[in-house]
Structure 1
Amino acid sequence: MGSPTSLCAWLLPLTVSVCWSLQVEIVEPIRAAGDDVALIFIPGAKLTGGQYKRTAQAIQVASKLRVWAALTGGYFHDVPTPIQIPGAIDAAVRDLRQAGMSSEVFVGVGHSLGGVFLQSWGKDPKFKAVVLMAAYLDRNLTSLRSYPVPVLTLAAELDGQTRISRMVEEYAKLQRDVRVSRDAVYRTPVVCLRGANHGQFASGAMPPRVQQMNPQPEVSLAQVHASVGKVISNFLTGFLSSDLALVPAAHREMERYFAESGKVFQPLLDVKALHESGNSGPCPWASVAQSHLAGDLSDRIQVQTVSLGRLVFIASRPRIVQVRNTTVIHTVALVDKPRAAIDVPSLAQSPQTVSLKLKTKPAIMEARGMNPGPDEPKPSCLALNELALKVALDKATRKSRNRYLARGRPIVFEEDIVTSHGLRWMATMPRLWEDEAGLHVQAVAMTTLTLVGSVPWNPVRSDSVYCKLVTPYRALEWVLVDSLRPY
């Protein structure tokens, strides 16, 4: 990648001075013997290299390896960029050599923005592995095992900047890779630190954005650093230790991390699966909502659902087909997926809304030859939004649920916005707004009506109900992250 001098030679004079401002602090090993390994730290934005000294020391304490650390800093405005990182890495290697580190084993460790940029150095032959703290590989990389070197992805459960709902995507990739080879648990692990937040991978004063975006942690800084030290130590020991007697224990620990992290990630995967099927695939959430509307007839219906593209959805209608004693209801769904131009992990990762076209209970009763009574309750989209929150809370871990109920700002469900015809319903967006009271959610509803009997003065009954709703996944994101952030 070239030295800092060669890099700066072709840049603007301002950039030359920026390159020469780089600093490296060397943390020498605490062990007299063992396999030498050097960790090169790239800090997060607005953090200094020195703020990772306690993290590095925790790794040294936890590891049987002879761990060196190079803490890079002095970046322009304390923001690591691809322009300066090559020079920082070269300076770190030089200073490590001068301090007495003779091994060729270098590991990149990047936090937050530093990790985002560091991942591109995985192809550099000097790196034997990469550790990403509150950072992740490119979203377009569909398999972690295709990354050229072993990579550890560390998530924090209460991270308000690199959301757990973004990190769960990396865990899902790991699950797929494990089905191909169990070695993925050791080579490309994704580990979640419970009760920790974004800033606790470092130490010292946090920048204003970190303070504003992150919920309060539930574990101490010392506990987080100790956990980080153990995870990184076991990860590195698994493929770098020449003492093969240490490897089985390290692998067992990585297996345990995989299982324990799954307990945090799996609720998100389960709720995400309720609507994530793509066009022309099923939408399980539509089935749940339709069964809820059917009430005590839910065990006598069979729901067929499909997610559609916008134009096909507009022209589609729900319908009922009676097959012997089973009422088959065909429903349609439209999931409004996030359309971020770039991967921004601080933003909600879930679809904000899902549009459903469903059949009402009176329509189901009539299809079954029953007479709907006048006291049948009117269908409510608000009730389906309440159901979304209930499903989210039921799926959440007990600790997450109790945390939300104890100190999270609630979701406040407002009365439905009622529209009179289909085009207006399609054009009207549900309202979501946040204030000190919590997240306010207002669905958009439309009911289609059918005359009862053959004369126009007879009363009408509801036949279908169209609802634009919050998704259970958005509700779960609120429960896990947003409700706990400072307002």
Structure 2
Amino acid sequence: MVTRSEVFFEDGYPRSEVFFEGFTEKSRDGYPRVKFFFEDGYPRSEVFSGMVTREPIQDLRAVTEEMARSPWSEMSQEILANTATQDDWRYMNVSDHLHDSTSFAIENPHMTLQLQTLNIATQSHVTRPADPHYYEPQTAFEIAAKMKSQEEIKEELEPLGVLFNRPVTCKEVNMAAFEKAFSSPVDVVRDRFTERGRNITFFEDVVDDFATSWLASSHSLVYTDAGLEVTARRFHTGSSNPDLRGMTWCKLVPPERFLEYIMVDGLKGTKP
């Protein structure tokens, strides 16, 4: 039996088994961030109060990739760490590095503890569809993010008194990306999707046993009459792995891709 999580609608807002309501904020460095709090050992994203940041697809592209980094991969690492409180994120300094497909295959995440700060370097690759008819790039299809596992982070930060909740997976990161996207459009776009849009179903991750198979794979986006079905690909290693120690790698759906679905699917049935 396949375990899955469905986003459904209640009182005009989406609800899921993991991520509930709240708001979007911008961090001190000016990049968009999703604020999280924790309940029952799971992160809850604060995305849906009245304080909604109105960002078009162009702005969400800066969440996917900004210069030589992916802000969303940095946020994904913090979600995967799943510390007991968001305040404990101050012990982590996550910096991402974007690569082309060749260098991405050989670069791996790493981390070092300096005093009471764990510096984590994640590695990412963004895939965008090539279309010669578009002057501007279309929405990114995928973010491949190489991150450190929660187990590996715990080994460094638990001695400092940092507490952790239960592990989460790439599926929960995709759910957070959807809610980030849902918080971005203006009210009329959100209302149209709430009224007319089809549900999004998040299935459990497909787990690859080997790094090579994960690199050659992709996440799954399946469009059906019932809506959109999303499945992430994950590669995970334990802290005892001699070659790739403490890794969690995810093939993720970018928030901008979810926003495109929200905007287009909400227009179904609209008369010109």
TM-score (norm 1): 0.40
- Give CA-to-partner distance per residue, 1:353-393, whole Å, 9 cap, x none: 11001112221121225399xx9533311111101001111
Percent identical residues: 27
Give the alignment partner of residue 131 of structure 2, picking from 332, 340, 348.
340
Is the aligned partner of 1:367 residue 2:153? Answer: no
Q: How many Å separate the matches in 2 of 1:333 and 1:471?
A: 12
Within 5 Å, which residues of 2 pair with 1:161-172?
none
Within 5 A, what are the aligned runs for 1:199-278? 266-277=55-66
Secondary structure at the counterpart of residue 484 of structure 1: coil
Which residue is 2:70 aligned to? 283
Using a 3 Å threshold, how does the CA distance of structure 1 residues 349 and 482 change in structure 2: closer, same or farther? farther
Amino acid at match of 1:408: G
2:108 counterpart of 1:325: no
Instruction: Indicate how the Cα distance of structure 1 residues 440 and 344 shifts in structure 2: closer, same or farther if over 3 A, else same.
Output: farther
Report if aligned partners of 1:412, 1:440 keep a CA contact under 8 Å in 2: yes
For structure 1, list consecutive stretches of 5 or more residues without a partner in the other structure: 1-262, 457-461
Q: Is the 8 A contact 1:291 1:298 kept in 2?
A: yes
Q: How many residues align?
A: 210
Counterpart Cα distance in 1 of 2:186 and 2:237: 39
Q: Report if aligned partners of 2:193, 2:265 keep a CA contact under 8 Å in 1.
A: no
- State the alpha-carbon separation in 2 of the partners of residues 306 and 485 from structure 1: 38
Question: Which among 388, 398, 419 is matched to residue 208 of structure 2?
Answer: 419
**Which residue in the other structure is 2:94 paired with?**
303
**Hey, what's the Cα distance between the residues in 2 that align with 1:407 and 1:325?**
49
In the alignment, what sits opposite 1:60?
A: none
1:83-118 C-alpha deviation (Å, 9 max, x unpaired): xxxxxxxxxxxxxxxxxxxxxxxxxxxxxxxxxxxx
Whole-Å Cα distance in 1 between the matches of residues 115 and 78 of structure 2?
19
Alpha-carbon distance, 1:399 to partner: 2.6
Letter of the structure 2 residue corresponding to residue 269 of structure 1:
Q
Aligned partner of 1:447 in structure 2 is 236
How many angstroms apart in 2 are the aligned matches of 1:484 and 1:329? 41
Shift of 1:317: 0.8
The CA distance in 1 between the partners of 2:205 and 2:126, in whole Å, is 19
Deviation at 1:481, TM superposition (A): 1.2
Distance apart, 1:325 and its partner CA: 0.8
Deviations 1:306-362 (A, max 9, x none): 1101111111111111111111110011000111233399xx920111100111222
- Compare the two structures and name the one with the higher helix fraction: 1
* Corresponding letter in the other structure for 1:354: I
Alignment of 1:347-386 (within 5 A): 349-370=138-159, 377-386=166-175
Q: 1:403 to 1:290 in 2, by over 3 A?
A: same
| Aligned residues: CA RMSD | 2.8
In structure 1, the partner of 2:255 is 472
Q: Which one has the bigger strand percentage?
A: 2
Match of 2:44 in 1: none
Deviation at 1:422, TM superposition (A): 0.7
For 1:299 and 1:481, the matched residues in 2 are separated by 38
Counterpart of 1:292 (choices 63, 67, 79) is 79
Q: Deviations over 1:273-311 (max 9, x none)?
A: 112336xx0111111111111223323211111110111
For 1:400, the aligned partner's letter is: V
Residue 467 of structure 1 deviates from its aligned partner by 0.4
SS at match of 2:122: strand
Would the alpha carbon gap of residues 329 and 350 (structure 1) be closer, same or farther in structure 2, given more than 3 Å must change? same
How much does 1:483 deviate? 4.6
Larger Cα Rg: Structure 1 or Structure 2?
Answer: 1
Structure with larger RCO (C-alpha < 8 A, sep 6+)? 2
TM-score norm. by structure 2 comes to 0.70
Gaps (5+ residues) in structure 2? 1-52
CA contact (8 A) 1:322 1:328 kept: yes
Match of 1:395, SS state, is coil
